[in-house]
Amino acid sequence: MTTLYVSDLDGTLVRDDLTLSNESRHELCALLAEGALITVASARSVTSIRAILGNIPFTLPIIEFNGAFLTEYRTGRHEIVNAIPATLARGIFDALTAAGCEPYISSFDGAHDLVFYREIANEGMAAYFAERAAFKDERLRRVDDLAATLDIGTVCLTVIERGERLDPVHASLATAFGDRVELTSCDYRYFPGWKFFTVHDRRATKDQAIAALRKARGLEEAELVVFGDEVNDIGMMRAADRPIAMANAKPGVKVLAREIIGSNNEDSVVRRIRADREKMAGR
C-alpha cells in the first residue's frame, strides 16, 4: 500500500528551539531518497519553513499558511493559491482595526510573497518581526496605508495580542464572517502570554490542501498518515487514515489520535515513519 506522510512543523517535526535535529535531518533525507512520500503542512510561509529546515529534498509540494498555498519547496512556486476575496478582506480589516487591532497582512501579488505592516504595535508583534528578520525574510514591507494593500491578493491577516483582548475579537469576527473565512486562535508558543489570531480564506485549511495534493499527484487511494500537535492540525487529523499526535499535543488533538508518540524534542516523527516503513517491508 502507498502511504502519504504529512507532518506539522512547530511542536511536531522540529524541536522547541526551532531546529531540526541532526538525526531528524539525516533520517528525513534518507527516507525521501528511498522514495517515501513525505511533506509538511504548516501555518508558516515557505520562506520561514526553508529557513528552519534548509535543503530537505521534498519531492511533493508543501502546505504553507495552513493551506492557503500548495507550494514547490525548492523554488517557492505556488501550485495553488487560496486568497481571500478583496471585498471580504477589507471587511475583516475594518472590523479588526475598529477593535483596535493592528494586523500583519500576508499577500501574493502574482509573482512575489509579501508581508505588509503599518506599525509594530506591541511586544508580540515585535517578537514576530524579530524572528522573521533573523530569517532574513525579504517579504516584510512597512507601509503607511495598510488598507491599500488589500487589493493585492490577501492570503492571511495575522493579529498578535494578549489573550484577554483577542478572545472577544475572535468571537465577534466568528459571528460576522465565520461562514466565509477560516479563523484560528492559538498560543504564541515562543512568546508566552501572547496569542496568534489568523484569518484565511475558507478553502485554506490543511485537510483541504492535503486533498488537493492527493488529487494533483494521483494519491487519492494512498493511506494518509498525519502528525500534529496544535488546534490547526485538527482538520487533517480528522481526515487521516492514521492520525498520530505528539506527546506534547493539545488535548483536542490527542483525543482524535489513533496513536500518541514521543514529543517533538525526541525525533519522534522520523523515528515513527522509519519504524512504519520497516514494518511494511517485513523487516
Residue 212 has pLDDT above 80, yes or no: yes
Q: How many CA atoms lie within 13 A of 11 on its CB side?
A: 22
Helices (H), the chain: 22-33, 46-53, 86-98, 123-134, 163-177, 206-216, 234-239, 251-254, 268-280
Instruction: Say if residue 127 is in the same domain as residue 266.
Output: no
Instruction: Say if residue 38 is in the same domain as residue 127.
Output: no
Instruction: Say if residue 251 is in the same domain as residue 266.
Output: yes
Instruction: Say if residue 94 is in the same domain as residue 197.
Output: yes
Instruction: Say if residue 178 is in the same domain as residue 219.
Output: no
Instruction: Say if residue 154 is in the same domain as residue 109.
Output: yes
Residue that is last in its domain, among 201, 227, 262 = 201
Q: What is the pLDDT of residues 242-263, one digit of tens each?
A: 999 999 999 999 999 999 999 9
Q: What are phi and psi of 155, to 5 degrees?
A: -105, -20
Residue 196 has pLDDT above 60, yes or no: yes
Q: What is the pLDDT of residues 4-40, one digit of tens each?
A: 999 999 999 999 999 999 999 999 999 999 999 999 9
User: Mean pLDDT over residues 263-274, rounded?
Assistant: 98
Question: 3-state class of 184 per DSSP?
Answer: strand
| pLDDT computed for residue 1 by the predictor | 83
Domain of 215: which CATH number? 3.40.50.1000
Instruction: Say if residue 108 is in the same domain as residue 194.
Output: yes
Instruction: Say if residue 122 is in the same domain as residue 29.
Output: no
Q: Can you tell me the distance from the alpha carbon of 87 to that of 204, in angstroms, rounded to the nearest whole number?
A: 17
Number of domains making up the chain = 2
Q: What is the pLDDT of residues 142-152, one digit of tens each?
A: 999 999 999 99
Residue that is last in its domain, among 201, 235, 264 = 201
Residue 186 has pLDDT above 70, yes or no: yes
| pLDDT computed for residue 4 by the predictor | 99
Residue that is last in its domain, among 154, 174, 201 = 201
Q: What is the pLDDT of residues 110-157, one digit of tens each?
A: 999 999 999 999 999 999 999 999 989 999 999 999 999 999 999 999
Which has the closest alpha carbon to 222: 37, 24, 10? Answer: 37
Q: Can you tell me the distance from the alpha carbon of 120 to that of 142, in angstroms, rounded to the nearest whole number?
A: 10
Instruction: Say if residue 14 is in the same domain as residue 68.
Output: yes
Residue 143 contacts residue 150 (beta carbons within 8 Å) = no
Instruction: Say if residue 52 is in the same domain as residue 114.
Output: no
Confidence class for position 283, pLDDT limits 50, 70, 90: low
Residue 13 contacts residue 46 (beta carbons within 8 Å) = no
The DSSP symbol for 9 reads: I
Domain of 195: which CATH number? 3.30.1240.10
One-letter identity of residue 279: K
| pLDDT computed for residue 282 by the predictor | 75
The DSSP symbol for 10 reads: I
Residue with more model confidence, 282 or 170: 170
Q: Can you tell me the distance from the alpha carbon of 114 to that of 152, in angstroms, rounded to the nearest whole number?
A: 10
| Structural domain range at position 41 | 3-81+205-280
Instruction: Say if residue 33 is in the same domain as residue 101.
Output: no
Q: Can you tell me the distance from the alpha carbon of 74 to that of 125, in angstroms, rounded to the nearest whole number?
A: 29
| pLDDT computed for residue 12 by the predictor | 99
Question: 3-state class of 131 per DSSP?
Answer: helix
**What pTM did the predictor assign?**
0.95
Instruction: Say if residue 60 is in the same domain as residue 109.
Output: no
One-letter identity of residue 133: A
